[in-house]
Structure 1
């Protein structure tokens, strides 16, 4: 997708408004204020007092705040928005910003549902503004090293992730129907797409909740995804598994025709194959700070970044497919998930320009791949 570039340089940093003053919003505020490439123009939150408290925590009590991100951006001369709101607010906040001529860097997931995500992809097309989703694991140098190793293994048969932890979050996660799949599994689901450079075809998933679980919904899940070319990805995880906990990134194994790559989620991956020395990591970026750097560079160059909304939607589609499979007790085709979401997006869309963009797609999968 082509989008409007925004002129800026390290001598003239990009002015941004951060939307959302919660815990993750404050993490982003720390990254923004530490960057030389951006300048914090203001903080927006429906709870203006929370925005004021966040500004004070940065020793910038004078920083402009407000409840409306677009109004605040226009008032302060901001050139872009960083959306760190709750998932249900991603669609309205991002749509409003794009429509106002403001590119957006948003936290994952792209939206609360695939249908809303498709609407946002169409909104980016209709407005010509960049919408990039921050999937922070994309910018983990160890993930990049694992990808380089994966490319040395020839045909890949199986990729697996083991994830076992026992966090007591409290709050909304404890009440979710599928807390592990919906709130956490999108990270490895996105990572496996990055590793393989291909897209999922089908999903089979079972979820359950052990009797000792402190979650209302299913905190355990096992999912098998078939990818283009026949590779299988197996995810096995739990959010109520005390003892011998894995990394927050999980424990990974990539099995190919020429050997195996292993990653414990915390230290450098290991290649066990007769293919010579392992390739070096292919990224100089890391975490959400890396996502911010890539966003700014994309706006300066006009080059489409990893995580652009069209490219990111399939990661959320994997989550939705897994949830649907668990509910139906059978395998689910990703194309069926996409087509159902597309129909819902068309029915719900209220903006004529976004609807026109949606109706111009030859197919959902083709549109997400950038084929018109």
Structure 2
């Protein structure tokens, strides 16, 4: 639980939102907010107001005169009477935007990753605690109905031994991604690492990772990565991914196999997962399974829900109305980002890296950079330093 004191918002009207950032991903969010009956767009913030106007014009086929525009989050939110903020800026701008909103008394739903570094993410999580407001990170690939079904089925298989996730795509993005260092790990793998935390139901302990860049790659940085994570309880996640793998591509969610005490679950990343409990009678794989005969593989029932960023928005709204803490509250999301930073450190050093070592180093960096006493006090409470 986050321990936040965010007041519950009324359920008898839509949540009034200010969106910050109106670029490519920002337009996706604008469409998602417009499609939600539980949300209302009341303001847009962008350093380039022409970009904001163009995005609104495309959204409404004629503009939106009642949507407040500006370059200051707090000012636009005050003028628009906003309840909350959606932050769709680039990661380097997340902290400045989030902290302005949080200390203006506004909860924030922020696009992943929370920050370029774990240290920056720690400062933001601490600022949210200091402000008494919710900061939720939109790990949008947690929000799939088929993933819900997979988690439900795996929970009935007993102790998890091994989880395998393969991700193979060949996107030609152009632009900054093709010039990034550690492009697969930094820009994409966080989705799969975060999903693994949800599937396994435990926190990561350590990682050994290798990267390389095939000769045909159109990326400057390493487009391929293989990593082995240890989790609390002993489970291992084996991750193998590539962003320059043409032909027979996987889902964006990856392709999964979970081997557990009583059976195995498979998920192709898109469709209903399949579970096999050898020798089990009908019902052992859980309610909602389609019986195919005792001990035979069964397909799990998938219950429809809001998915991807629409799912993240729906959870954010529900949390603000009920007072519950989301799965991806900023402090809880730290270990997903730490998995990325640890994997990069392992790939660079050639050594196994402990997740706690990354968190402790990040804590020290955050404390050195943070000069507000009220925020520093909460930084210190987010990670436990070793004794001695």
What is the TM-score when the length of structure 1 is the normalising length? 0.95
Which runs of no fewer than 5 residues in structure 2 stay unpaired?
289-301
Q: Give, in whole Å, the separation in 2 of the partners of 1:106 and 1:321.
A: 22
Residue 196 of structure 2 corresponds to residue 203 of structure 1: no
1:48-85 CA distances to partner (integer Å, 9 max, x unpaired)? 11011111112234122111222111111111000011
Q: 2:25 — aligned with what?
A: 24
CA RMSD of aligned residues (A): 1.5
- 2:240 matches 1:236: yes
Provide the C-alpha distance between the structure 2 equivalents of 1:260 and 1:139, rounded to a whole number of angstroms. 22
> Is 1:252 aligned with 2:253?
no
Output aligned runs, 1:1-372, within 5 Å: 1=2, 2-9=4-11, 11-59=12-60, 60-62=63-65, 63-274=67-278, 275=280, 276-280=284-288, 284-361=305-382, 363=384
Are the aligned partners of 2:360 and 2:383 in contact in 1 as well (CA < 8 Å)?
no
Structure-1 separation of matches of 2:250 and 2:385: 36
CA deviation vs aligned residue, 1:139-175 (integer Å, no higher than 9, x gap): 1011111111111211111001111111000011001
Question: Distance between the aligned counterparts of 2:215 and 2:286, measured in 1?
Answer: 44
Shift of the alpha carbon at 1:121? 1.1
Alignment partner of 2:339: what SS?
helix
8 Å Cα contact 1:139-1:283 kept in structure 2? no
Contact preservation (8 Å) 1:271, 1:278? no
Query: Residue 225 of structure 1 aligns to a residue in which SS?
Result: strand
State how far apart, in whole Å, the 2-side matches of 1:108 and 1:359 are.
Answer: 23
The CA distance in 1 between the partners of 2:156 and 2:88, in whole Å, is: 37
Aligned position for 2:292:
none
State the SS of the aligned residue for 1:226.
Answer: strand
Deviation at 1:364, TM superposition (A): 6.5
CA shift at 1:42, angstroms?
Answer: 1.1
Other-structure match for 1:370: none
Count of aligned pairs between the two proteins: 364
**Aligned equivalents of 2:287, 2:32: Cα separation in 1:** 29
- The answer to whether the Cα contact below 8 Å between 1:261 and 1:272 also exists between their aligned partners in 2 is yes
Find the structure with the greater CA-based Rg.
Answer: 2
Offset from partner CA, 1:210-254 (integer Å, 9 cap, x none): 111110100000000000011000100000111111111111000
SS of structure 2 residue aligned to 1:204: strand
